[in-house]
Amino acid sequence: GAGVSQTPSNKVTEKGKYVELRCDPISGHTALYWYRQSLGQGPEFLIYFQGTGAADDSGLPNDRFFAVRPEGSVSTLKIQRTERGDSAVYLCASSLDRTGGGAVFGEGSRLTVL
């Protein structure tokens, strides 16, 4: 597609539930990034994929968070046993190369955990 597409745009869930957030990057972009943006803060890095593999997952806060990109295009961020502190906007970005910047961001998925 023309841009990075993220679904759902909004997700409200209850504490303890499982959530999946999807990112459809720009066609041909091999690098894909997930960031989390809490209210009043800048985005914080979660994980970076180069192709199908996670090249850097150092930003994942704990083992409740997991992300996959099985075919090197669409990626899914998975959050188990959600907590209220997970409430944030989850941003996905993709780029042609691994410089990290110049990446194109999606509009984000806003997650609210009640």
Partner 1 sequence: AQSVTQPDIHITVSEGASLELRCNYSYGATPYLFWYVQSPGQGLQLLLKYFSGDTLVQGIKGFEAEFKRSQSSFNLRKPSVHWSDAAEYFCAVVGGTASKLTFGTGTRLQVTL
**How many other CB atoms sit within 10 Å of the CB of residue 36?**
21
Around 43, how many Cα atoms within 13 Å sit in the side-chain half-sphere?
18
The residue among 1 and 102 lying less far from partner 1, judged by its C-beta, is 102
The residue among 45 and 66 lying less far from partner 1, judged by its C-beta, is 45
Start-to-end CA distance of the chain, whole Å, equals: 33
**Residues engaged in binding partner 1 (CB under 8 A):** 4, 31, 33, 35, 40-45, 48, 50, 55-56, 59, 91, 93, 98-108
Residue 96 CB, nearest distance to partner 1 (Å)?
Answer: 12
Structure tokens at 13: 């869930």
Residue 39 CB, nearest distance to partner 1 (Å)?
Answer: 11
